[in-house]
Amino acid sequence: MADFQIKKTPKSYDVCIVGSGAGGGMAAYVLANAGLKVVLLEAGPLYDPAKNVTQLKWPWESPRRGASTPYRNFGDFDAAYGGWSLEGEPYTHKDGTEFDWFRSRMVGGRTNHWGRISLRFGPRDFKHKSIDGLGEDWPIGYDDVAPWYDKVDQLIGVFGSKENIPNEPDGIFLPAPKPRLHEMFIMRGAKKMNVPVIPSRLSILTKKINDKRGQCFYCSQCNRGCTVHADFSSSSVLVKPAIETGNVDIIANAMVREVLTNNEGIATGVSFVNKDDKQDYTVDAKVVVLAASACESARLLLNSKSARHPNGLSNTSNVAGKYLHDSTGADMGGILPDLIGRKRYNEDGVGGMHVYTPWWLDNKKLDFARGYHIEYYGGMGMPGYGFGFGMQGLNGQYPGRNGSKKEAGGYGADLKDDYRYYYGASFGMSGRGEAIARETNYCEIDPNTVDKYGIPVLRFHYKWSDEEIKQARHMKETFEEIIVNSGGVVTWGKDGKENNYGLAAPGRIIHEVGTTRMGNDPKKSVVNKFNQAHECKNLFIVDGGPFVSQADKNPTWTILALSMRASEYIIDELKKQNI
Amino acid sequence: MDRRESLRRIAIGSVGAGLLVQCEPKTEKPATAQAPAGAAVTIDRTPEELARDQKLQAEKFFDEHEMKTITVLSDIIIPKDDKSGSASEAGVPAFIEFIVKDMPHYQTPIRGGIKWLDLQCMRRFNGDFASCTAQQQIEMVDEIAYPAKAKPEMQQGVSFFNTMRDLTACGFFTSKIGIDDLGYVGNRPNQWDGVPDDVLAQYGLKYDARTLEIAPKYT
């Protein structure tokens, strides 16, 4: 007998879902609650923030005081395993271009550590080509998605405020926490320049919504995962209750190789490598749902070649992998001299900002397309690795407790007091904006490289255009003005033309979408308006891949709404025996 | 699970160990009290992370002389004062030993910096830095602790001292002694109800009616 054989998983399922992040978790939740038998494949280990705890730990409980490591790029206390590079799972680049791909292989995926910024796309966001001629319109509009956003709001919970801003649709909101001190300085400063600053919209329970999940207790550590499940992560809010229905078998450490199809080109299941025993398996299902992340799902399509699908699964259009786009990002920070020597109190609040700035300008009057929102941070946070670095750049700049300036740098009791004196006076902001989806920005299969499982890897080709670079310049000009108007002094983040105004490398904002975009025309899109593959009717993609354009919003809330919508469609089509 | 139960679960569960440490009487602890080596693992770790940390902790980078120098320097940078203990009392030398193994880019600058410092002291005082008198050590440190007024030929020493200042302060203020000193009072269950009134008054700020109306209410 050969050493290598492919084992067949004995049980057959209604639905096989690949990936347990926002899209896969939602699909599992909806389909399992409808009574369908689901197998959920996750490429990483099981994870539950109530059991895998880093919340309410102190910096000294990490020998590196929370600094990042190759196994946890956002630091020792962050909930997300993995990061920009994974051992034995490379990706490559074409023509010297840049793209950084963040992968978090674990139940819940990247929802375990995200910022919980839960913004709906607005009416303009679905139809931007009609407005500025760039990119493509979605085949659906806000009215198609609005009822699903409502359901997501109610199921998961999001706080915010009703503002009636045309392209920032209001949701069904929980109470919004009061702004922190530096946020009030920012509000005062931004008002002088007519930049709106409104309560943020985060999926954190400031009020109890059911008996399964606790209420936020304001430790500001959502990125560590919440032991009482008071914030949204797919692992705690979707996958856990889905499993509790008894209709879901979850297979952890299952790295999917390809989608299997029959002679008619219909999906029959998937094949995967079990990372624990290193054996290959197949699993059969009537419907296959890909939610492995935009790029990973595109990779699966492209690697699933057969006689009926010679160019990859559902890829006659040659669109799979193309139109990849991440949010733009640029940042700046400063110090608020008024807050030097401030009074101490517990300022933790929720995880992340209590206020933010939605896009507020008219692009017709600007030299770039599309907008950005602004996220704010600062205040008296818990010290971690990097605390106090660069004091010599600060303590010679401002009058000390005795009213006079001193020589920068130093040592001793006097220096020790400087760390107390300047603590909590720093603040900063980040712009997160919309990039244009372009055919020339893509991922494809690298013909020469495989990962340690023998699966051909992705090769990226990505370049920012002038639209994104000019947007970054506008961010920087605005940030400096906000800092100054708030009474602050810029201490970092002044960038210029030489480095594209600090525009983050593509992939760095971790909002990559667009690689399996939806559309009515099978020649120009991979899936239809219900996230169903044009050329394989029992295959669905419910991650960020089907996004036609990303908006100046974070993608998660829209991934959730569209996955819920697609899942209800699957239930309906199965009932009608259409798939 | 209701909120009270949530809080209780947290109190007895994940932070139990932390609370116990906090309740210990404030006594002088030996320098190794918060040494990372061999410390119990209290945070979620994957098998790969555990293996890597154990490997790092089993390695030794600095020799005895280097550790002695680091200890002297860190206590010059953050000495004991009327509010809290010194860098070495907070376990800073052990933190620096770990961090250079974790982040190898620190290794040459610190090892080389110590050598540079010793050579300077040999020329001036005919002894390595750690063997010099306290007065000689301060005389030397004064040459490299103030970047703007340091002599050009002291520039390498300035860079080294900047790195030592960063790591010492970071190691100190992320220790229990340092966090207590700093007055950080979060990382515990709380009910955020806005900036305290006296602080709002200090800065001439107040919450408008709408903010108050939509904010969470606590009973």
Q: Can you read off the two tokens belonging to residue A194? A: 């007519």
CB contact under 8 A, A76 and B2: no
Which among B34, B173, B185 is the nearest to A383, CB-wise? B173
Which among A58, A344, A415 is the nearest to B187, CB-wise? A58
Which among B169, B178, B214 is the nearest to A176, CB-wise? B214
**Distance of alpha carbon A320 from alpha carbon A223, whole angstroms:** 32
List the single residue in B with minimal CA-CA distance to A63.
B36
Find the DSSP H helices in chain B: 3-12, 16-23, 47-58, 64-77, 92-102, 107-125, 134-144, 155-173, 176-182, 197-202, 209-214
Give the residue among B69, B91, B24 at the shortest CA–CA distance from B161.
Answer: B69
Which among B10, B43, B149 is the nearest to A407, CB-wise? B149
User: How high is the pLDDT of residue A375?
Assistant: 98
**Distance of alpha carbon A559 from alpha carbon B174, whole angstroms:** 38
User: A-chain residues within 8 Å CB-CB of B76?
Assistant: 411-412
List the single residue in A with minimal CA-CA distance to B57.
A63
pTM of the model: 0.94
Minimal C-alpha gap between B81 and chain A (Å) = 6
List the single residue in A with minimal CA-CA distance to B213.
A175
CA dihedral A569, A571, A572, A575 (to 10 degrees): 160
Could you give the angle at which helices B92-102 and B155-173 cross, rounded to 10 degrees? 110
Band of pLDDT at residue B6, cut at 50, 70 and 90: very low
Q: Is A54 on the interface with B (CB under 8 A)?
A: yes
Contact A455, A257 (CB under 8 A): yes
Give me the tens of pLDDT residue by residue for chain A, a chain 579 residues long: 577 788 998 899 999 999 999 999 999 999 999 999 999 999 999 999 999 999 999 999 999 999 999 999 999 999 999 999 999 999 999 999 999 999 999 999 999 999 999 999 999 999 999 999 999 999 999 999 999 999 999 999 999 999 999 999 999 999 999 999 999 999 999 999 999 999 999 999 999 999 999 999 999 999 999 999 999 999 999 999 999 999 999 999 999 999 999 999 999 999 999 999 999 999 999 999 999 999 999 999 999 999 999 999 999 999 999 999 999 999 999 999 999 999 999 999 999 999 999 999 999 999 999 999 999 999 999 999 999 999 999 999 999 999 999 999 999 999 999 999 999 999 999 999 999 999 999 999 999 999 999 999 999 999 999 999 999 999 999 999 999 999 999 999 999 999 999 999 999 999 999 999 999 999 999 999 999 999 999 999 999 999 999 999 999 999 999 999 999 999 999 999 999
Question: Is the model's pLDDT at B17 over the cut of 90?
Answer: no
Minimal C-alpha gap between B126 and chain A (Å) = 24
Minimal C-alpha gap between B54 and chain A (Å) = 11
Which among A214, A383, A391 is the nearest to B174, CB-wise? A383
Q: What is the ipTM of this complex?
A: 0.95
Residue with tokens 């310049």: A473
Neighbouring-strand partners of residue A334: A427, A490
Minimal C-alpha gap between B122 and chain A (Å) = 22
**Distance of alpha carbon A425 from alpha carbon B21, whole angstroms:** 29
Radius of gyration of chain B (CA): 23
User: B-chain residues within 8 Å CB-CB of A389?
Assistant: 166, 169-170
Residue B185, classified by CB atoms within 10 Å of its CB into exposed (0-12), middle (13-18) or buried (19+), is middle
How many residues does the structure list for chain A? 579
Question: Which three-class secondary structure state does DSSP give residue A460?
Answer: strand
CB contact under 8 A, A388 and B5: no
Averaged confidence pLDDT in chain B = 87
Contact A97, A463 (CB under 8 A): yes
Contact B130, B218 (CB under 8 A): no
User: How high is the pLDDT of residue B219?
Assistant: 80
Minimal C-alpha gap between A406 and chain B (Å) = 10
Band of pLDDT at residue B1, cut at 50, 70 and 90: very low
Residue A106, classified by CB atoms within 10 Å of its CB into exposed (0-12), middle (13-18) or buried (19+), is buried
**Distance of alpha carbon B154 from alpha carbon B149, whole angstroms:** 10
CB contact under 8 A, B15 and A348: no
**Distance of alpha carbon B173 from alpha carbon B181, whole angstroms:** 8
Give the residue among A269, A229, A304, A175 at the shortest CA–CA distance from A52.
Answer: A229
User: B-chain residues within 8 Å CB-CB of A112?
Assistant: none
Q: Is A505 on the interface with B (CB under 8 A)?
A: no
DSSP secondary structure string, B80-141? --SSS--TTTTTHHHHHHHHHHHSGGGHHHHHHHHHHHHHHHHHHHSS-GGGS-HHHHHHHH
Minimal C-alpha gap between A246 and chain B (Å) = 21
CA triple A357-A190-A499, angle to 5 deg: 70
CA A218 vs. chain centroid, Å, equals 22
| Residue from B9, B22, B45, B46 whose CB has the most chain A CBs within 10 Å, to mutate | B46
Q: Which amino acid is at A1?
A: M
* First CA to last CA distance, chain B: 18
User: How high is the pLDDT of residue A29?
Assistant: 98
Residue with the bigger pLDDT between B10 and A551: it is A551
Q: Is A96 on the interface with B (CB under 8 A)?
A: no
CB contact under 8 A, B216 and A161: no
Number of inter-chain CB pairs under 8 A, A vs B? 259
CB contact under 8 A, A343 and B202: yes
User: How high is the pLDDT of residue B9?
Assistant: 37
| pLDDT, tens digit, 9 for 90 and up, residues B76-130 | 999 999 999 999 999 999 999 999 999 999 999 999 999 999 999 999 999 999 9
**Distance of alpha carbon A458 from alpha carbon A303, whole angstroms:** 10
Question: Is the model's pLDDT at B32 over the cut of 50?
Answer: no
Minimal C-alpha gap between B157 and chain A (Å) = 13
List the single residue in B with minimal CA-CA distance to A410.
B145
CB contact under 8 A, B43 and A391: no
DSSP-assigned letter for residue A117: B
**Distance of alpha carbon A187 from alpha carbon A197, whole angstroms:** 6
Question: Is the model's pLDDT at B35 over the cut of 70?
Answer: no
**CA distances for A239 relative to A25, A98, A226, A247, angstroms:** 5, 34, 15, 11
CB contact under 8 A, A214 and B6: yes
Contact B186, A347 (CB under 8 A): yes
- Chain A 140-199, residues with CB within 8 Å of chain B CB atoms: 161, 173, 175-181, 184-185, 188, 199
Question: Is the model's pLDDT at B150 over the cut of 70?
Answer: yes
